């Protein structure tokens, strides 16, 4: 079931690429942009995360943290982050619990894969409330990056 705007964002704890646990609650006091992406190294995911990485300083100046989440292993995310010089944390939702909690799990994907994160963007304000979401129907769709910037810039 989709999350409602204004609702408390579901907290979670996942492993980052340095094998450390990271919880959403650690970011209270900052705005958070969660980027769920289907698969590391795929063409659209690489484009999206590289674009976000190039614009990372924009979000930092707005007291915001960007976090990428996929069902890939922390090792795959680590290599993807290294090769593409991604400047923000990538978290492994290998067990798919967080993707489910955010209604961002695609049950069926190409190649007969099952349980892959949808391409989805969520903005959570510094108080932990969901203020924006964009869940795309197709993994080939691209998020509205301009709208995302506007939403984050509008947060007080």
50 is catalytic: no
Q: What is the dihedral of CA 51, 78, 33, 27, to 10 degrees?
A: -140
Q: Return the structure tokens found at 101.
A: 């909690």
Q: Which residues pair with 108 in a beta bridge?
A: 114
pLDDT number for residue 13: 98
pTM over 0.95: no
Cα end-to-end span (Å), the chain: 28
Sign of the torsion formed by the C-alpha atoms of 145, 147, 150 and 154: negative
Q: Return the structure tokens found at 113.
A: 């894969």
- Provide CATH code, domain 28-154: 3.40.30.10
pLDDT number for residue 111: 59
Is the model's pLDDT at 11 over the cut of 80?
A: yes
Per-residue pLDDT averaged across 130-141, rounded?
Answer: 90
Q: Which residues pair with 117 in a beta bridge?
A: 105
pLDDT grade, residue 2 (50/70/90)?
Answer: confident
Would you kindly state where each structural domain of the chain is located, as residue ranges?
28-154
Reported as a single tens digit per residue, the pLDDT across 16-74 is: 999 999 999 999 999 999 999 998 999 999 999 999 999 999 999 999 999 999 999 99
Reported as a single tens digit per residue, the pLDDT across 78-130 is: 999 999 999 999 999 999 999 999 999 987 665 566 678 889 999 999 999 99
Short-list 84, 88, 80, 69, CA closest to 15: 69
Per-residue pLDDT averaged across 135-152, rounded?
Answer: 91
Measured between alpha carbons, how far is 155 from 115 in angstroms, rounded to an integer? 33
Q: Which of 33, 45, 120, 151 is catalytic?
A: 45
């Amino acid at each position: 079931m989709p999350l409602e705007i204004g609702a408390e964002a579901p907290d979670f704890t996942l492993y980052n690429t340095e094998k450390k646990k990271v919880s959403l609650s650690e970011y209270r006091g900052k705005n958070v942009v969660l980027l769920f992406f289907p698969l590391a190294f795929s063409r659209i995911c690489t484009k999206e995360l590289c674009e976000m990485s190039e614009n990372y300083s924009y979000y930092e100046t707005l007291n915001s943290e960007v976090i990428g989440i996929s069902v890939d292993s922390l090792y795959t995310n680590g290599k993807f982050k290294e090769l593409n010089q991604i400047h923000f944390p990538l978290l492994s939702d290998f067990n798919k619990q967080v993707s489910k909690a955010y209604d961002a799990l695609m049950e069926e994907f190409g190649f007969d894969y099952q349980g892959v994160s949808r391409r989805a963007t969520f903005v959570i304000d510094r108080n932990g409330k969901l203020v924006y979401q964009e869940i795309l129907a197709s993994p080939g769709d691209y998020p509205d990056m301009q709208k995302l910037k506007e939403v984050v810039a509008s947060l007080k």
